[in-house]
Structure formats: structure tokens, C-alpha cells
Structure 1
């Protein structure tokens, strides 16, 4: 564990979320290469509000489809009502109903990496919960300003 990356976390809350569909642009990353995620959001930004079946204005950063080498797909996306008219270059993901532990990240978005590191390397191992081996996601609502990188971001981790 790298103690330089550990930050103080606000107390999390437990939520049960019904299943939902995500569509957006996806790329593969590792913890070491995730500095490329902001570029993915820059590519996705102009699509927001133009996606067929988009549900609301909340955006999601979903970590899914991980492999044994430590890479994962990160999807910058939105909730959609269905996949029928989604552009061919978009990734699609169905998230099942799930119990989550939800963390708040209130600092600049550039430090979210430290919050995520602390969740996975300190909070989760020291808790009564186990990761449910399903996608986790960041939730960006109207309180987050993508221009300044400031505002509330929620990090939803599936638990059992």
C-alpha cells in the first residue's frame, strides 16, 4: 500500500440501487494509466444530451470488464432507456440491482484517484463488506462542474 495516496474519507452510506443501462464511450485503462480518463470525458462531453433514450442529466464513469492483468474498461456515459438506437461506437452495459457503499469526493476531480485508492486499499479491506465483483461507478450530477473540475462526485462500490 502506498501511504502517500491515502486520504481521509467522509463516512459512506449504504444504498440499494435498482438495475439500469449505461451507454457511452469506453476505453481500457489500469490504475497506472488512468490519467487518460479525462481525455475520454473530453471526447464524450459533446455527446451528452444527444444520446437516444438518455435518462436525465446525470453522467457516470463506470469501471467494468476487468481482467487478470489489472486492466478495466472505463465508460464515460449516461443512463439510457434502451440500447436499440445507441451509436455503434458506444459501449453498452447493463448494471443489475445491487447494494452499494457510496462515498463522496468533494475535492478537485484530479485527486479522485487518491479517494478511489483509499477506498480499495484501506476502507474496503478494513470493513465488514466484500466487493461484489460487479461494476463500480462514479456519479456526476448537477453539483459537479466539468469546466472547473469542482463539485460533488459519488463513488458507488458494489458490496456483499
Structure 2
């Protein structure tokens, strides 16, 4: 894989997200699709949903490589959410935004290239904040030309 380059840098805003969450480690990454399958029927039907994008959020990492992952959408207000839903409020961050085109089968290689090639070669350091995946409305994870974004939080140099 060639050295990835950000499509842009962006100052994010506060995001109020709600969805289904679980704890994973690197040996269980293939199980993320099961979480999305459980969450999929809620897309467009989450109380208080704002917009049509969905988000995958990696947060609360530990030293052993485990992390919490939320499959969710942006919500407004303090709407009562379905049982089992998790809410997450992300503070504004400065992000490097990378594009991943194609099936989700190759997303691990994109993440690996960002963290093992681009980040060490850049003048940036990763901020201690959540990493986001942004999926536009109508995203098809099996489509060969599907486009999603990976948002890496950065500390300003």
C-alpha cells in the first residue's frame, strides 16, 4: 500500500452520538461487523437522530490494545433512547481526515498504513481522543467504490 495522505485537515465540532457499543481487542476486529448488523435496522430510526451519516468510534483504548467501539449516529437533545443504547459526547478536535475507498475488508490495511507510515512520518502526534469512521448516508460496505472517512485526532505541532 502506498503512503496514505489526508484528504484534508478539519477542526471538528462537538458530536453527540448514540448507538450500540461493545469492547474489542485486535483479535476480535472481525466481530465489529456483527455490531453494525445489530445497529443497521436503527439507521434513520434512532430517536433524535440528526443528519444521515453514521459513525464508528474507537475510544477508551488500553495498553493491551483493547478499546470500546460505538456504531452510532448523531443525535440532538436528550431524547429517550432505546434500551441498550450508549451515548457518547466527543469534544471538538483537530483531525487529519483520510478516505477509504472500497470494501470494508481492506479497512485494516488503511488503518495500519495511517498509524505505521503516515503518522510516524508526519510532524503530527495523535491526540488522546476518539478515532472516528464517518459513513455517508447510503454507504454500502460491500461496494467496490464505496467511500468512507477515517478521522484521526491530532495534537497541534
User: When the two structures are superposed, what TM-score results if normalisation uses the length of structure 2?
Assistant: 0.91
Alpha-carbon displacement from aligned partner over 1:4-35 (angstroms, at most 9, x marks no partner): xxx22552111011111111111111222111
Could you tell me how far 1:146 is from its partner in structure 2?
3.9
List alignment gaps of at least 5 residues for structure 2: none
> 1:51-90 counterparts in 2 under 5 A?
51-90=46-85
Q: Distance in 1 between matches of 2:26 and 2:81?
A: 29
- Corresponding position of 1:101: 96
3-state SS of the aligned residue for 2:106? helix
User: Does 2:2 correspond to 1:8?
Assistant: yes
Say which of 101, 106, 124 aligns to 1:111. Answer: 106
Cα distance between partner residues in 2 of 1:117 and 1:91: 27
CA distance in 1, matches of 2:109, 2:36: 19
1:74 deviation in Å?
Answer: 0.9
Structure 1 residue runs without a partner (length 5+): 1-6
CA contact (8 A) 1:20 1:79 kept: yes
Aligned length: 154
Which whole-Å deviations, capped at 9, do the CAs of 1:24-82 have from their partners, x for residues lacking one?
A: 11111122211111111111000111111101110000001112221001111000013
Aligned-partner Cα distance in 2 for 1:18–1:9:
28
Which residue, 40, 43, 67 being the options, matches 2:35? 40
Q: CA RMSD in A?
A: 1.6
Is 147-156 or 136-145 further displaced after alignment? Answer: 147-156
